[in-house]
Amino acid sequence: MIITAAVLMGAIGLFFAIFLVFANSKFAVETDPKLDRVEGALPGVNCGGCGYASCALYAEAIVEKDEDLNLCVVGGAQTTKDVARVMGVQVSGEQKEKLVAVVFCQGDNEASKFPGVYKGIEDCAAAIYSQDVSKRCKYGCVGMGSCVKSCPFDAIHLSEGGIPFVDAEKCTACGNCVRACPRDLIELHPVSHNSFVYCKSQDPGPVARKVCSKACIACQICVKAAAKDENAEAVTMNNNLAVVTPEPYAAKPEYGAKCPTSAYASGVNSIRKAEVLGYAPLGGEPMTDATGAVDATETGEAVAATNESTEG
Amino acid sequence: MTYLVTLISAIVVNNFVLTYFVGICPFIGVSKKIDSALSMGIAVTFVMTITAIVTWIINHYVLIAFGLPFLEYVSYIVVIASLVQFVEMFIKKTSPALYKTLGIFLPLITTNCAILFVALIQAMRNLGFIESVVQGFGAGVGFTLAIVIMAGIREQLEVADIPKPFRGAAITLITAGILALAFMGFSGLTSA
């Protein structure tokens, strides 16, 4: 009995093994072995930062269409080198400096008072459509966290004041949050550029001052400071708004020293600055915690966002 | 007529997911979007039908013939694992697009207990060949039905204002429970 059972199971196993071997050779799909190796060299997070929907597609583009090797923002220089080794080419040109997402709004719940209670869909665009309850500033962050949900790397969170801040170390500049923000408040900038006018309000000074205590009121103090420093191109005025020129970047933190609303500031919305400003992250856990200081629901959302991005 | 009854019974009355509660993991895991739920359902239906055919043959011509029905579980698992592997190869060769859509769900079907249940229940009920194939197919359609309904509801829930304690897994399980209650309404439709 035991022997029959053993032999029988062995026979079934062997039968299917042979069947699979046969099927494998019959249905073998010819793929370029480079493809697998290039894909292996990529981080495999499928963030879309390179412009392709997944790492596999980017690998395909590299192997078959001679796509540039340095597009992966997540892996950076190391990945470029690894991919170049697989492809057997020398890396030409410099790796771009690491970019991080920068949030151009400081209008938290204190600075820009929230006029009503919004109980609708937790989505920034939806909040903006129901105009009466979004924040008074027509240009500012509405704080519904669409950018937080879009981040596959757990790098962007809402402060207690309802303003997103970015963990520069976790941020890979994949650009998901840039696309997620309906008011275009998030931009990607090299990590060393840290002085900006953190405001997008094009309201005239008096109006801007009324709706938000941290808005740019177009007083031009920073523009004049830059001009005095013989660096007039560094900060320019544009539609009632002082704008730090991103390219070539020449702004210095000193230009904002006399900014009456501290709209011109340095390193705001990065995780370290958030600590200095005394924002406690939701849940009140220490922000420096490596596992990411977010409360349970937010983690859940972040995980859900990750799942969605991998599924989609 | 009997086959029609078997089919309807497998699809709605004895829906595997909502009546027997097997195959819950993909039911919860892959029901976030209707698209992926539908592809999952189709893949499961495909594998279930083939499994029903092969396990019926193995059961009748190997296990019963050699008097070793206790090997049911072990041999079925071998069969299912090999079949899923084969289906994966087949789809990869014939339809790369479908292969990409199904992605990780395809190998995951191996561990879907609903597939094993199809194999076991036909042995348990002593079904004939055609009947067990029909049942396997019906079970797959039932699974697809359940998972697509669930995905539809969850897509709506995504934008609903759910009380905080119920968010996430809690509301999903509550939804599944209510859905199961609703499917109770079909009981008595057939006697099978």
DSSP A31-47: --HHHHHHHHHS-----
Going from the C-alpha of A234 to that of each of A242, A253, B8, the distances in angstroms are 10, 11, 73
Residue B5 lies inside a defined structural domain of this protein: no
| Residue B46 CA to its chain's centroid (Å) | 10
Is the same domain home to A57 and A112? no
Task: Compute the nearest-CA separation of A218 from chain B (Å).
Answer: 39
DSSP character for A118? -
Q: What is the mean pLDDT of chain A?
A: 76
Residue A55 lies inside a defined structural domain of this protein: yes
DSSP string, B1-63: -HHHHHHHIIIIIT-IIIII--SHHHHHHT-SSHHHHHHHHHHHHHHHHHHHHHHHHHIIIII
Amino acid A311: pLDDT:
39
Pick from A164, A175, A157: nearest CA to A140:
A164
Task: Compute the nearest-CA separation of B167 from chain A (Å).
Answer: 8
Is the same domain home to A71 and A107? no
Is the same domain home to A103 and A170? yes
Q: Which domain holds residue A63?
A: 33-87
Is the same domain home to A48 and A109? no
Residue B2 lies inside a defined structural domain of this protein: no
Residue A196 lies inside a defined structural domain of this protein: yes
> CATH number of the domain that A48 lies in?
1.10.15.40
Amino acid A98: pLDDT:
74
Amino acid B137: pLDDT:
94
Q: Which domain holds residue B147?
A: 14-184
Is the same domain home to A254 and A301? yes
Would an 8 Å CB–CB cutoff place A115 in contact with chain B? no
- CB A213 within 8 Å of CB A282: no
Residue A22 lies inside a defined structural domain of this protein: no
- Res A310 pLDDT > 50: no
Those residues with Cβ within 8 angstroms of residue A269's Cβ, 6 or more apart along the chain or in another chain: A102, A103, A106, A163, A164, A165, A166, A198
Amino acid A58: pLDDT:
85
Going from the C-alpha of A100 to that of each of A28, A74, A267, the distances in angstroms are 43, 11, 11
**Paired sense of beta strands A156-158 and A164-166, if any:** antiparallel
Q: Does ipTM surpass 0.95 in this model?
A: no
Residue B8 lies inside a defined structural domain of this protein: no
- What percentage of chain A has pLDDT greater than the value 90? 2
Task: Compute the nearest-CA separation of A101 from chain B (Å).
Answer: 27
Residue B21 lies inside a defined structural domain of this protein: yes
- Res A228 pLDDT > 90: no
pLDDT 10s digits, A23-67: 888 887 777 788 888 888 888 877 777 777 778 888 888 888 888
Of A66, A87, A108, which marks where a domain is finished?
A87
Kindly report the backbone phi and psi dihedral angles of residue B43, in degrees, each rounded to the nearest multiple of 5, phi listed first.
-60, -45
Kindly report the backbone phi and psi dihedral angles of residue A101, in degrees, each rounded to the nearest multiple of 5, phi listed first.
-75, 135
Contacts of B159 in chain A (CB under 8 A): 121, 123
A49 three-state secondary structure: coil
Collect the ranges in chain B with pLDDT lower than 70: 101, 190-192
Residue A92 lies inside a defined structural domain of this protein: no
What is the C-alpha separation between A188 and A175, in angstroms, rounded?
Answer: 7
Q: Give how many domains chain A has, as a whole number.
A: 2
Amino acid A96: pLDDT:
61
For residues A148-170, average pLDDT = 84
What is the C-alpha separation between A254 and A76, in angstroms, rounded?
Answer: 31
Amino acid A227: pLDDT:
86
Instruction: Count the Cβ atoms, other than its own, within 10 Å of residue A184.
Output: 11
DSSP character for A53? S
**First-to-final CA distance of chain A:** 52
Is the same domain home to A81 and A157? no
Instruction: Count the Cβ atoms, other than its own, within 10 Å of residue B115.
Output: 32
Residue A23 lies inside a defined structural domain of this protein: no
Is the same domain home to A64 and A139? no
Amino acid A282: pLDDT:
39
Most confident of A13-22, A121-130, A282-291: A13-22
Amino acid B146: pLDDT:
94
Structure token digits, residue A14? 């062997």
Q: Which residue has the higher pLDDT, B155 or A309?
A: B155
Residue B40 lies inside a defined structural domain of this protein: yes
Residue A12 lies inside a defined structural domain of this protein: no
Q: Residues of A numbered 58-87 whose beta carbons fall under 8 angstroms of chain B's beta carbons: which are they?
A: none
pTM above 0.80, yes or no: no
Amino acid A129: pLDDT:
81
pLDDT band at A273 (very low <50, low <70, confident <90, very high): very low
Is the same domain home to A73 and A127? no
Residue A42 lies inside a defined structural domain of this protein: yes
pLDDT 10s digits, B37-60: 888 888 889 889 989 999 999 888
What is the C-alpha separation between B142 and B9, in angstroms, rounded?
Answer: 9
A248: preceding bond cis by omega (within 30 degrees): yes
Residue A9 lies inside a defined structural domain of this protein: no
Is the same domain home to A53 and A158? no
- Count each helix (H run) and each strand (E run) in chain A, helices first: 11, 8
Residue B6 lies inside a defined structural domain of this protein: no
pLDDT 10s digits, A257-266: 888 888 888 7
| Residue B77 CA to its chain's centroid (Å) | 15
DSSP string, B110-148: GG-HHHHHHHHHHHHTT--HHHHHHHHHHHHHHHHHHHH
Is the same domain home to A292 and A151? yes
DSSP string, A266-297: ESTTBHHHHHHTTPPBTT---TT-TT----HH
Going from the C-alpha of A72 to that of each of A44, A68, A80, A175, B119, the distances in angstroms are 10, 9, 7, 12, 47
pLDDT band at A21 (very low <50, low <70, confident <90, very high): very high
Q: Which residues of A106-133 are buried (b: 16+ CB within 10 A; e: fewer)?
A: bbbeebbebeeebeebbbbebbbeeeee
Is the same domain home to A103 and A183? yes
Task: Compute the nearest-CA separation of A133 from chain B (Å).
Answer: 16
DSSP string, A182-239: TT--EEEEETT--EEE-----S-HHHHHHH-TTS-----HHHHHHHHTT-TTSEEE-S
- What percentage of chain B has pLDDT greater than the value 90? 23
Residue B7 lies inside a defined structural domain of this protein: no
Q: Give how many domains chain B has, as a whole number.
A: 1
pLDDT band at A130 (very low <50, low <70, confident <90, very high): confident
For residues A77-89, average pLDDT = 81
Q: Which chain A residue lies closest to B159 (C-alpha atoms)?
A: A121
- Does A16 contact B82 at a Cβ distance shorter than 8 Å? yes
Would an 8 Å CB–CB cutoff place A239 in contact with chain B? no
- Does A311 contact B32 at a Cβ distance shorter than 8 Å? yes
What is the C-alpha separation between A242 and A240, in angstroms, rounded?
Answer: 7
Sign of CA dihedral B71, B72, B75, B78: negative
Is the same domain home to A57 and A184? no
- CB B109 within 8 Å of CB B84: yes
Contacts of A123 in chain B (CB under 8 A): 159
- CB A157 within 8 Å of CB A164: yes
Of A13, A27, A119, the CB nearest to B93: A27
Which candidate in B39, B61, B71 is best for mutational testing of the A interface (most A CBs within 10 A)? B71
Residue B59 lies inside a defined structural domain of this protein: yes
Of A42, A65, A87, which marks where a domain is finished?
A87
